[in-house]
Amino acid sequence: MALSLFAPLKSRGGSRRIPSLGGLALALVSTIGSTALGGLPSQAQTAEINTAASNAGAGGKGAQIYCFMRNNGNNHQVSWDAAYAVIKRQNDKLFKTSPEHAAVMITEAVVQNPSVYPDCGRYLGDLFTKPEPKPESSTTTAPTGVSRSERLGQ
């Protein structure tokens, strides 16, 4: 929608045209509003996302959290911890959901609704990579048969 700053013009006795304060305010609000809201999803898109997440149950909620966090620059571990915590809390059963099953639940939700989780497919592989084992720290033990003063050189 194109707005003219000079639409409601006021003339002050001469041929000079000055925009009215109302016209400037309307143009400013329109510009700020369209810029600020341009990146936000519409109400229909938000409703679609929430419906898909609730229909997919705990996996959908986990996928929503995991994908949102990854798309906003968080690493896998932080995003996974948050998503897995939600999935575990959603389960009312005696046994909690295993990490492997939670990863499958997130994957199923993303694959079944790719339009709801755009650009999330590229992160799904991270859910199935095994963390590298930490190298065992080499602990040094005190030599046997040596007194404390001999070890310290006293």
Residue-wise pLDDT for 39-96, tens only, equals 445 555 555 555 555 555 788 999 999 999 999 999 999 999 999 999 998 877 778 8
DSSP label at 66?
Answer: H
Q: Residue 29 pLDDT more than 50?
A: no
- Highest-pLDDT range among 13-27, 60-74, 93-107, 133-147: 60-74
Give the pLDDT of residue 54. Answer: 55
pLDDT band, very low/low/confident/very high, at 24 (cuts 50, 70, 90): very low
Give the pLDDT of residue 102. Answer: 94
Residue-wise pLDDT for 85-129, tens only, equals 999 988 777 788 999 999 999 999 999 999 999 999 999 999 998
Instruction: List the structure tokens of 153.
Output: 């050189």
Query: Which position has the higher pLDDT, 1 or 127?
Result: 127
The candidate with the shortest Cα–Cα distance to 85, out of 70, 96, 76, 73, is: 96
End-to-end C-alpha distance for the chain, whole angstroms: 87
Q: Residue 151 pLDDT more than 60?
A: yes
| pTM for this entry | 0.53
HSE at residue 104, side-chain half, CA atoms within 13 A, is 5
Q: Which residues is 18 bridged to in the sheet?
A: 10
Query: Which position has the higher pLDDT, 145 or 79?
Result: 79
